[in-house]
Protein backbone atom coordinates (compact mmCIF):
# COMPACT_ATOMS: atom_id res chain seq x y z
CA UNK A 1 0.00 0.00 0.00
CA UNK A 2 1.24 3.48 -0.80
CA UNK A 3 0.92 6.44 1.52
CA UNK A 4 1.25 9.92 0.12
CA UNK A 5 2.19 12.70 2.48
CA UNK A 6 2.95 16.31 1.90
CA UNK A 7 6.55 17.40 1.81
CA UNK A 8 7.02 20.98 2.85
CA UNK A 9 9.48 22.99 0.89
CA UNK A 10 11.05 25.86 2.76
CA UNK A 11 13.38 28.48 1.39
CA UNK A 12 15.67 30.21 3.83
CA UNK A 13 17.08 33.62 3.08
CA UNK A 14 20.49 33.17 4.70
CA UNK A 15 23.47 33.53 2.40
CA UNK A 16 25.72 30.58 1.73
CA UNK A 17 28.77 32.65 2.60
CA UNK A 18 27.76 33.03 6.26
CA UNK A 19 28.33 29.38 6.98
CA UNK A 20 31.31 28.87 4.74
CA UNK A 21 33.73 28.73 7.67
CA UNK A 22 31.94 25.77 9.26
CA UNK A 23 31.77 23.80 6.03
CA UNK A 24 35.47 24.01 5.26
CA UNK A 25 36.53 21.16 7.52
CA UNK A 26 34.04 18.76 6.02
CA UNK A 27 34.89 19.88 2.51
CA UNK A 28 38.56 19.11 3.21
CA UNK A 29 37.68 15.64 4.49
CA UNK A 30 35.57 15.08 1.44
CA UNK A 31 38.38 16.11 -0.89
CA UNK A 32 40.73 13.76 0.95
CA UNK A 33 38.32 10.83 0.50
CA UNK A 34 37.91 11.72 -3.13
CA UNK A 35 41.68 11.69 -3.65
CA UNK A 36 42.13 8.39 -1.80
CA UNK A 37 39.40 6.71 -3.81
CA UNK A 38 40.71 8.08 -7.06
CA UNK A 39 44.14 6.70 -6.21
CA UNK A 40 42.64 3.20 -6.40
CA UNK A 41 42.02 2.63 -10.06
CA UNK A 42 38.40 1.75 -10.74
CA UNK A 43 36.49 2.22 -13.97
CA UNK A 44 33.17 1.57 -15.68
CA UNK A 45 34.64 -0.53 -18.49
CA UNK A 46 37.36 -3.12 -18.92
CA UNK A 47 38.98 -5.23 -16.24
CA UNK A 48 38.32 -2.68 -13.48
CA UNK A 49 34.59 -2.43 -14.27
CA UNK A 50 31.77 -2.62 -11.64
CA UNK A 51 31.83 -6.44 -11.69
CA UNK A 52 35.41 -6.30 -10.39
CA UNK A 53 35.35 -3.29 -8.04
CA UNK A 54 35.33 -5.48 -4.90
CA UNK A 55 38.50 -7.25 -6.06
CA UNK A 56 40.45 -4.01 -6.39
CA UNK A 57 40.75 -3.28 -2.67
CA UNK A 58 39.58 -4.81 0.65
CA UNK A 59 37.97 -1.39 1.24
CA UNK A 60 35.65 -2.05 -1.72
CA UNK A 61 34.23 -5.33 -0.35
CA UNK A 62 30.73 -3.84 0.07
CA UNK A 63 30.50 -3.47 -3.72
CA UNK A 64 30.12 -7.28 -3.89
CA UNK A 65 28.84 -8.28 -0.46
CA UNK A 66 26.53 -5.41 0.56
CA UNK A 67 22.79 -5.94 0.97
CA UNK A 68 21.72 -2.32 0.49
CA UNK A 69 23.53 -1.42 -2.72
CA UNK A 70 22.61 1.35 -5.13
CA UNK A 71 21.43 2.11 -7.76
CA UNK A 72 18.17 0.16 -8.09
CA UNK A 73 15.14 -0.05 -10.36
CA UNK A 74 12.83 1.75 -7.93
CA UNK A 75 9.51 0.30 -8.97
CA UNK A 76 10.71 -3.28 -8.96
CA UNK A 77 10.41 -3.03 -5.15
CA UNK A 78 7.13 -2.90 -3.29
CA UNK A 79 6.81 0.72 -2.26
CA UNK A 80 6.06 0.97 1.44
CA UNK A 81 4.87 3.46 4.05
CA UNK A 82 6.73 6.60 5.00
CA UNK A 83 8.73 7.27 8.15
CA UNK A 84 8.86 11.02 7.73
CA UNK A 85 6.68 13.67 6.25
CA UNK A 86 9.05 16.60 6.04
CA UNK A 87 11.68 17.33 3.40
CA UNK A 88 13.03 20.87 3.21
CA UNK A 89 15.41 22.29 0.62
CA UNK A 90 17.27 25.41 1.81
CA UNK A 91 19.58 25.82 -1.16
CA UNK A 92 21.04 29.22 -2.09
CA UNK A 93 22.87 30.44 -5.17
CA UNK A 94 26.56 29.64 -4.56
CA UNK A 95 29.88 29.76 -6.31
CA UNK A 96 31.10 26.36 -7.47
CA UNK A 97 34.40 24.69 -8.16
CA UNK A 98 33.82 22.48 -11.20
CA UNK A 99 36.23 19.56 -11.45
CA UNK A 100 36.76 16.64 -13.79
CA UNK A 101 37.59 13.94 -11.21
CA UNK A 102 38.23 11.13 -13.67
CA UNK A 103 34.81 9.55 -13.07
CA UNK A 104 32.43 12.46 -13.64
CA UNK A 105 32.11 16.23 -13.80
CA UNK A 106 31.56 17.41 -10.22
CA UNK A 107 30.55 20.82 -8.88
CA UNK A 108 31.96 21.28 -5.38
CA UNK A 109 29.70 23.71 -3.61
CA UNK A 110 30.07 26.14 -0.76
CA UNK A 111 26.73 25.77 0.94
CA UNK A 112 25.02 26.23 4.26
CA UNK A 113 25.01 23.48 6.87
CA UNK A 114 21.23 23.11 6.74
CA UNK A 115 20.79 22.89 2.97
CA UNK A 116 18.63 19.79 3.31
CA UNK A 117 16.42 18.84 6.25
CA UNK A 118 15.36 15.23 5.89
CA UNK A 119 13.50 13.35 8.59
CA UNK A 120 14.38 16.15 11.03
CA UNK A 121 18.13 15.89 10.33
CA UNK A 122 20.16 18.75 8.86
CA UNK A 123 22.56 18.05 6.02
CA UNK A 124 25.09 20.30 4.28
CA UNK A 125 25.27 20.18 0.47
CA UNK A 126 28.80 19.22 -0.57
CA UNK A 127 28.75 18.60 -4.28
CA UNK A 128 26.64 17.90 -7.34
CA UNK A 129 27.75 15.46 -10.05
CA UNK A 130 26.32 13.69 -13.05
CA UNK A 131 25.96 10.25 -14.56
CA UNK A 132 25.11 9.29 -18.13
CA UNK A 133 22.98 7.30 -18.65
CA UNK A 134 20.98 7.51 -15.40
CA UNK A 135 21.86 5.05 -12.63
CA UNK A 136 18.43 4.57 -11.03
CA UNK A 137 15.61 3.28 -13.16
CA UNK A 138 11.85 3.57 -12.83
CA UNK A 139 10.26 0.34 -13.97
CA UNK A 140 13.03 -0.26 -16.47
CA UNK A 141 13.03 3.26 -17.93
CA UNK A 142 16.55 4.60 -18.28
CA UNK A 143 16.84 8.39 -18.55
CA UNK A 144 19.77 9.84 -20.54
CA UNK A 145 21.33 11.37 -17.40
CA UNK A 146 21.00 11.58 -13.60
CA UNK A 147 22.21 14.32 -11.26
CA UNK A 148 23.34 13.47 -7.72
CA UNK A 149 23.27 16.18 -5.02
CA UNK A 150 25.44 14.83 -2.21
CA UNK A 151 24.82 16.02 1.37
CA UNK A 152 26.49 15.17 4.69
CA UNK A 153 25.35 15.70 8.28
CA UNK A 154 27.41 16.38 11.41
CA UNK A 155 27.99 12.64 11.98
CA UNK A 156 29.23 12.14 8.44
CA UNK A 157 26.03 10.40 7.31
CA UNK A 158 25.28 10.94 3.61
CA UNK A 159 22.00 11.89 1.96
CA UNK A 160 21.84 12.03 -1.83
CA UNK A 161 19.08 13.67 -3.85
CA UNK A 162 18.91 12.03 -7.28
CA UNK A 163 17.29 13.89 -10.17
CA UNK A 164 16.62 12.28 -13.54
CA UNK A 165 17.44 14.31 -16.64
CA UNK A 166 15.54 13.96 -19.90
CA UNK A 167 16.18 15.61 -23.26
CA UNK A 168 14.18 18.80 -23.74
CA UNK A 169 14.68 22.54 -23.37
CA UNK A 170 18.04 24.08 -22.56
CA UNK A 171 18.62 24.10 -18.80
CA UNK A 172 19.42 27.74 -18.10
CA UNK A 173 20.40 27.04 -14.46
CA UNK A 174 23.11 24.64 -15.59
CA UNK A 175 24.11 26.73 -18.62
CA UNK A 176 26.69 28.62 -16.53
CA UNK A 177 28.42 25.39 -15.51
CA UNK A 178 28.16 23.93 -19.01
CA UNK A 179 29.89 26.94 -20.63
CA UNK A 180 33.25 25.30 -20.10
CA UNK A 181 33.28 21.75 -18.79
CA UNK A 182 36.75 20.72 -17.57
CA UNK A 183 38.15 18.35 -20.18
CA UNK A 184 41.29 17.05 -18.49
CA UNK A 185 41.25 14.83 -15.40
CA UNK A 186 41.93 16.95 -12.28
CA UNK A 187 41.21 20.14 -14.25
CA UNK A 188 39.22 22.74 -12.28
CA UNK A 189 36.98 25.45 -13.72
CA UNK A 190 35.46 28.30 -11.70
CA UNK A 191 32.33 29.59 -13.45
CA UNK A 192 31.74 33.33 -13.01
CA UNK A 193 28.07 33.08 -12.19
CA UNK A 194 26.74 31.55 -8.96
CA UNK A 195 24.78 28.36 -9.43
CA UNK A 196 21.14 28.58 -8.31
CA UNK A 197 21.00 25.07 -6.89
CA UNK A 198 17.36 25.26 -5.80
CA UNK A 199 16.33 25.70 -9.43
CA UNK A 200 18.05 22.47 -10.39
CA UNK A 201 15.17 20.59 -8.72
CA UNK A 202 12.02 19.69 -10.66
CA UNK A 203 8.87 21.73 -9.84
CA UNK A 204 7.14 18.80 -8.14
CA UNK A 205 9.15 17.22 -5.34
CA UNK A 206 7.68 13.74 -5.17
CA UNK A 207 10.56 11.49 -4.12
CA UNK A 208 11.37 7.84 -3.68
CA UNK A 209 13.27 7.28 -0.45
CA UNK A 210 15.36 4.28 0.50
CA UNK A 211 18.53 3.51 2.41
CA UNK A 212 21.23 2.39 -0.03
CA UNK A 213 24.88 2.97 -0.82
CA UNK A 214 27.37 5.03 -2.76
CA UNK A 215 27.17 3.98 -6.43
CA UNK A 216 30.96 4.23 -6.71
CA UNK A 217 33.70 2.47 -4.73
CA UNK A 218 33.89 1.94 -1.80
CA UNK A 219 30.08 1.39 -2.19
CA UNK A 220 29.60 2.36 1.49
CA UNK A 221 26.09 1.73 2.83
CA UNK A 222 23.89 3.86 5.09
CA UNK A 223 23.34 6.45 2.36
CA UNK A 224 19.85 8.00 2.49
CA UNK A 225 18.57 8.26 -1.09
CA UNK A 226 15.85 10.68 -2.19
CA UNK A 227 15.25 10.11 -5.90
CA UNK A 228 12.91 12.63 -7.52
CA UNK A 229 10.12 11.01 -9.49
CA UNK A 230 9.95 13.86 -12.04
CA UNK A 231 12.89 14.61 -14.34
CA UNK A 232 14.44 17.96 -15.21
CA UNK A 233 15.46 18.82 -18.77
CA UNK A 234 18.73 19.45 -20.57
CA UNK A 235 18.90 20.22 -24.27
CA UNK A 236 20.26 17.69 -26.71
CA UNK A 237 23.39 19.87 -27.06
CA UNK A 238 23.89 20.01 -23.26
CA UNK A 239 23.61 16.24 -22.93
CA UNK A 240 26.01 15.83 -25.85
CA UNK A 241 28.51 18.22 -24.21
CA UNK A 242 28.53 16.12 -21.03
CA UNK A 243 28.80 12.87 -22.98
CA UNK A 244 31.83 14.24 -24.77
CA UNK A 245 33.54 13.97 -21.35
CA UNK A 246 31.65 11.06 -19.81
CA UNK A 247 29.35 8.48 -21.28
CA UNK A 248 28.55 5.20 -19.58
CA UNK A 249 29.64 6.35 -16.12
CA UNK A 250 26.74 4.52 -14.51
CA UNK A 251 26.85 1.51 -12.19
CA UNK A 252 24.32 -1.17 -13.26
CA UNK A 253 21.18 -1.55 -11.10
CA UNK A 254 21.61 -3.83 -8.09
CA UNK A 255 19.12 -6.48 -7.00
CA UNK A 256 18.82 -6.25 -3.21
CA UNK A 257 16.42 -8.50 -1.26
CA UNK A 258 16.54 -6.43 1.90
CA UNK A 259 15.73 -3.02 0.49
CA UNK A 260 12.44 -1.21 0.96
CA UNK A 261 11.33 1.92 -0.89
CA UNK A 262 8.99 4.70 0.25
CA UNK A 263 7.22 7.27 -1.86
CA UNK A 264 6.86 10.76 -0.39
CA UNK A 265 4.50 13.11 -2.16
ZN1 LIG B 1 26.59 9.69 -8.32
Q: Higher model confidence: residue 86 or residue 74?
A: 74
Is the pLDDT at 3 greater than 50? The verdict is: no
Beta-carbon neighbours within 5 Å of ion ligand 1: 148
In a domain, 1, yes or no: no
Is 7 a domain residue? no
Confirm whether 9 is domain-assigned: no
Which range of residues forms the domain containing residue 71? 16-264
- CATH number of the domain to which 143 belongs: 3.10.200.10
Tell me which range, 28-32, 202-206, 257-261, is most confidently predicted by mean pLDDT: 202-206
Phi, psi of 138, rounded to the nearest 5 degrees: -115, 110
Tell me the CA–centroid distance for residue 148 and ligand 1, in Å. 5
CA of 218 to the centre of ligand 1 (A): 12
Query: What is the Å distance from ligand 1's center to 215 Cα?
Result: 6
CA 47 / ligand 1 centre spacing (Å): 21
Ligand 1 midpoint to CA 3 (Å): 28
Give the mean pLDDT of 179-205. Answer: 94
Q: What is the pLDDT of residue 237?
A: 98
- Do the domain assignments include residue 110? yes
Is 209:262 a contact under the CB 8 Å cutoff?
Answer: yes
pLDDT for position 82: 62
141 lies in some domain: yes
Q: What spacing in Å lies between the alpha carbon of 226 and ligand 1's midpoint?
A: 12
Residue 6 lies in a domain: no
Region of residue 222 (phi > 0: left; psi between -120 and 50: alpha; otherwise: beta): left
The arithmetic mean of pLDDT across residues 54-70, rounded, is 96
User: Structurally, how many domains does the chain consist of?
Assistant: 1
How many A from CA of 152 to the centre of ligand 1? 14
The answer to whether residue 222 is domain-embedded is yes
* CA–centroid distance, residue 80 to ligand 1 (Å): 24
Determine the distance separating the centroid of ligand 1 and the alpha carbon of 265, expressed in angstroms: 23
pLDDT tens track for 9-29: 333 333 343 333 334 434 444
Q: What percent of the chain has pLDDT over 90?
A: 68
Q: What is the pLDDT of residue 206?
A: 86
Percentages (nearest 5) of helix, strand, coil residues in the chain: 25, 30, 45
Residue 125, domain member (yes or no):
yes
> 109-156 pLDDT, tens per residue?
986 778 999 988 999 999 999 999 999 999 778 999 999 999 999 999
Give the pLDDT band of residue 84 (cuts 50, 70, 90): low
CA of 165 to the centre of ligand 1 (A): 13
Cα 106 to Cα 94: distance, rounded to the nearest angstrom? 14
Distance (Å) from CA 211 to ligand 1 centroid: 15
Average pLDDT over residues 30-40: 49
At 81 the pLDDT is 55
Amino acid sequence: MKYFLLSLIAVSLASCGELRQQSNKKADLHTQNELNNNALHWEYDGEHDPEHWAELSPEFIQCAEGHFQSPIDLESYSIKSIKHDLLQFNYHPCSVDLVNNGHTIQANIEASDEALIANGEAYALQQVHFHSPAEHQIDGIIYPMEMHMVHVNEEGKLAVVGVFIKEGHENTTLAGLWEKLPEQVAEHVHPEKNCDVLHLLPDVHTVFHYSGSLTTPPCSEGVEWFVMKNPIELSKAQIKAFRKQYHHNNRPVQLQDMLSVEEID
